Amino acid sequence: METNAGAPALVYVYAFVPTAEYQEAPMEPVEGMEPDNSIDFFVQEEITAVICQVPESEFSEEQLQKNVENMKWLQNKAFHHHTIMNQLHDRYTTIPLTFGTIFEQRSSLAAMMEDYKESIISKFSTLAGKEEWNVKVYADQQLFIEAVVQDSEEIREKEAEIEALPAGRRFFEKKKMNQFVEGKADDHIEQHCTSFHEELKAKSEGTEIKKNWERKVTDREKDMAWNAVYLIESKDREAFIQFIEDRQGQEEAAGTGLDLECTGPWPSFHFSGLTSRSEANAQG
């Protein structure tokens, strides 16, 4: 693992894996953050840090802050980081670290690993044999609005009364009524999602509810109504996916217009305790 001759180098850390797992199944050479470097495995007793050398000219604290504002640079480096993380997760119990975790030298990294030794080893035990899945729910609000109106005789009567009002007053009363109905529809959507979440929660070792994305981010016609991650036993993967597929079939049969989306398996970004919220949120 080398950098350009004479160029100051820093230590980039991807993740921690159990030394026993690494020694049992050593990983083949993999290109590091820079094309002319490869990933290295820094063994410290029971813990192994997955690292590579990176140039100080790009990854010093000051320069890194500038580089992350360059979307092309960030996308390239972040994609590499997550590709490596997925490869590690396929092979070992992995504690993922935040993109851009840098140490000036290995001795500093070794000191950190010693300081957090008990916590890291405990987390290995917690995450062993588990994987993270992201589940999103998309809703057609208009379908729920129509259902609210159809199921409420009181609302239908109120709408008829509004139509009989003078034009000026009718406009404001109709606006208030629309807001009321939309609120009711949103309540029903949330009830569906919460019920679904509770069922998934019962099948999971851990859960975390995330912020919904706007349409300009999802580029979908329907609004995102639910976004959560679930930590499950790897052996339960097929049953977990099948449950979601079955639930999708039920939603379609009931005509709710809800779309369920399940992605994974991912490294345990949200459950490692060593990954920042921003890094975890980047997973979906």
At residue 203, the pLDDT reads 94
At residue 169, the pLDDT reads 62
Distance (Å) of CA 209 to CA 131, 167, 239, 269, 270: 16, 44, 21, 13, 10
**CA geometry: angle 255, 284, 119, nearest 5 deg:** 130
Given a contact cutoff of 8 angstroms between Cβ atoms, the answer to whether 80 and 33 are in contact is yes
Dihedral-angle region of residue 188 (phi above 0 means left; psi in -120 to 50 means alpha; beta otherwise): alpha
Residue 150's pLDDT band, with cuts at 50, 70 and 90, is: low
At residue 3, the pLDDT reads 40
Residue % of the chain over a pLDDT of 90: 51
Residue 171's pLDDT band, with cuts at 50, 70 and 90, is: low
Does pLDDT of 156 surpass 70?
Answer: no
Does pLDDT of 59 surpass 90?
Answer: no
Mean predicted confidence (pLDDT) in 149-162: 61
Q: Of 182-186, 188-192, 206-210, where does the model show the most confidence?
A: 206-210
Residue % of the chain over a pLDDT of 70: 82
* Assigned token pair, 221: 């016609």
Place of tokens 């009181």: 154
Does pLDDT of 91 surpass 90?
Answer: yes
Residue 163's pLDDT band, with cuts at 50, 70 and 90, is: low
Residue 278's pLDDT band, with cuts at 50, 70 and 90, is: very low
At residue 119, the pLDDT reads 92
Is pTM beyond 0.75? Reply is yes
Residue 277's pLDDT band, with cuts at 50, 70 and 90, is: very low
Higher pLDDT, 187 or 193: 193
Residue 226's pLDDT band, with cuts at 50, 70 and 90, is: very high
pLDDT tens digits, 77-90: 999 999 999 999 99
